[in-house]
Structure 1
Amino acid sequence: MDKLGCMLVFVKAVETGSISAAAEELDLSSQLAGKQLRALEQGLGIKLLTRTTRKQSLTDGGRIFYDHAKNILAEMAAAEALIAETRATPRGRLRISAPITFGSHALAPELPNYLKRHPEISLDLSLTNRTVDLVEEGFDVVFRTGDLPDSGLLARRLAPLRLVVCAAPAYLRSAEKLVQPEDLQRHECLIFSHTSLRTQWSFEGPQGRVTVPVAGRFSTDSGEALRAAAVAGMGVLLQPHELVAEEISAGRLVRLLPEYEPPARPLHALYAPDRRMTPKLRSFLDFAVQKFAGEQR
């Protein structure tokens, strides 16, 4: 017995008022529809409908079963629609939010490849170090660094952001030696005011974790501004590798404390749990995982 088919005949018979009307709507013969309804009743061991020549009515058991059967069929239809969507072409506008440094130096350079792969998608990228409200502000995906609070959002874990300590050769020529993290207390540090890095920097070294207080005359929530200040010789910088890699490669900045590794900052892509996994959302999450879930960059 095709239980779902029999269930559909029963629900349609209730909604249309007769088996013959249900059969017509489902493009079945009245005889087949009646046979399926009888098979359903026999399988359940109860009478679902009482029928006379003039009308039909639900039994008490039929009324209970109708409510559940209607929900089951609705869930089945929704599941089929979702499956159909996963096979559909990703299309539409995606609103993305990301921290400024990661968004500018890691995410944005990869987006042309994503758009080339999905020509019917358009992207709206917002770069901010502010903690945005994904639901209230209408974002599809939000990239977030640091430990995640219990927000109720779903998260895809990406590779942590690797931090680098560096300074310009001009600064190092006139500054005291910097051999171990504790020496930073005698240096002018460039302060990123957005996170806990504004007051202390931590390192993993030969003796375990070391945390030292830092201070400096220049602080900002812009990594780009801190990089410019570092290149100008204003002090010691602690920022993600993506931000300073080109400057280090060109010799404008010098990596410091090679035996001490700053703890990497966690990175996640977040999305709302009640948001339907449409082809466009799935395609972007898959892209983010493919590009950024490997080893630390």
Structure 2
Amino acid sequence: MDRLKCMLVFVKVTDCGSFAAASEVLNLSPQMVGKHISMLEEHLGTRLLNRTTRRQNLTEVGRMFYERCKVVLAAADEAEAVAQEMTAMPRGVLRVNAPVTFGAYGMSPLVVDYMRRYPDVQVELTLSDRYVDLVDEGFEAVIRIGPLADSALIARKLKPYQLIACASPRYLAEFGTPVRPEELIDHQCLGYTYWSRSSEKEWTFTKGGKQHAAEVNSRLQSNNATALLSAALGGGGIILGAEVVLGSYIASGQLIQVLADYQAPAREMYLLYSPNRYPTQKLRRFIDAVMAEYG
């Protein structure tokens, strides 16, 4: 006996009010509908429907069983939908938001690789350092740096957004290399200004569990990390920037890390998305890619 099929027939008979009406919906003969009901009652050892030639109604057991059958059938439909979704190829437009610097240097290469693997997906990568509302602004995933406010969104913690201090060989040859954070006051430090506040006046480093708050002098300030990077490469000063951005320039010798014995600040970083019980394949695969790279 196919119990799910019998449950489905029983629910349809109850909803439609008769064997004949259910048989039309299910594309079965009335005799076959009656056979499914009989098998179900025999299996359960109780009557589910009181029926006469003119009418039918549920028994007390039948009413309880009817409600549970609807739950079981809905769960079976959901399970099939999940299985079908998992085998489907990601497709459609994926809208992602990320902070400007991390988005340009950290997310862009990941997105290119993601699109190469899933050619039916288009990605709209919007970069902004302001707070965006994922739901109201129509984003499916958001990268956020810094502490999180209470939210109904799902937050997946990523690697910390690590900062390091660097300068070009030209600058260090001309002005010397600081060996302690306190010496930064005598150097040109390139200041990053946020959309909501001005440049930081102190850079904080840690060594041996002790914090060192170094006062900095920033003659050049900008709200764009690429502009500060260009200034640093040109010998304009010491930059405190993201390791994901500066790492390749250090590897090539264009920049040299300073104060390497000290730990520069690191900020929390998260991937946020809505708590949809069954996310789309394009989002699910994007989450997997981000977590593999930065989780």
Same fold (TM over 0.5): yes
Is 2:86 the partner of 1:70?
Answer: no
Which residue of structure 2 lines up, in the alignment, with residue 112 of structure 1?
112
How many Å separate the matches in 1 of 2:49 and 2:142?
A: 52
Residues 110 and 290, structure 2, Cα contact 8 Å, conserved in 1 = no
1:42 CA displacement = 5.9
Residues 189 and 218, structure 2, Cα contact 8 Å, conserved in 1 = yes
How many Å separate the matches in 1 of 2:204 and 2:40?
A: 68
| One-letter code aligned to 2:33 | A
Residues 177 and 258, structure 2, Cα contact 8 Å, conserved in 1 = no
Secondary structure in 1 aligned to 2:142?
Answer: strand
Residues 211, 83 of structure 1: CA spacing in aligned structure 2 closer, same or farther, 3 A cutoff?
farther
Which residue of structure 1 lines up, in the alignment, with residue 286 of structure 2?
284
How many Å separate the matches in 2 of 1:126 and 1:92?
A: 17
Which residue of structure 2 lines up, in the alignment, with residue 271 of structure 1?
273
| One-letter code aligned to 1:284 | F
Residues 22, 192 of structure 1: CA spacing in aligned structure 2 closer, same or farther, 3 A cutoff?
same
Which residue of structure 2 lines up, in the alignment, with residue 231 of structure 1?
233
Residues 177 and 183, structure 1, Cα contact 8 Å, conserved in 2 = no
How many Å separate the matches in 1 of 2:209 and 2:270?
A: 30
How many Å separate the matches in 2 of 1:150 and 1:214?
A: 34
Residues 110 and 289, structure 2, Cα contact 8 Å, conserved in 1 = no
Residues 148, 56 of structure 1: CA spacing in aligned structure 2 closer, same or farther, 3 A cutoff?
same
Residues 49 and 56, structure 2, Cα contact 8 Å, conserved in 1 = yes
How many Å separate the matches in 2 of 1:200 and 1:56?
A: 81
1:224 CA displacement = 0.8
How many Å separate the matches in 1 of 2:283 and 2:138?
A: 13
| One-letter code aligned to 2:69 | A
1:238 CA displacement = 0.8
Residues 219, 24 of structure 1: CA spacing in aligned structure 2 closer, same or farther, 3 A cutoff?
same
Q: What stretches of structure 1 of length at least 5 have no aligned partner?
A: none
Which residue of structure 1 lines up, in the alignment, with residue 100 of structure 2?
100
Calculate the TM-score normalised by the size of structure 1. 0.84
| One-letter code aligned to 2:279 | M
1:87 CA displacement = 0.5
1:5-48 CA-partner distances (Å, limit 9, x unpaired): 33211110012221243245334454453344345456667644
1:164 CA displacement = 1.5
1:147 CA displacement = 3.1
How many Å separate the matches in 1 of 2:189 and 2:182?
A: 12
1:281 CA displacement = 1.2
RMSD, aligned α-carbons:
2.9
Q: How many residues align?
A: 293
| One-letter code aligned to 1:6 | C
Which residue of structure 2 lines up, in the alignment, with residue 139 of structure 1?
139
Is 2:14 the partner of 1:25?
Answer: no
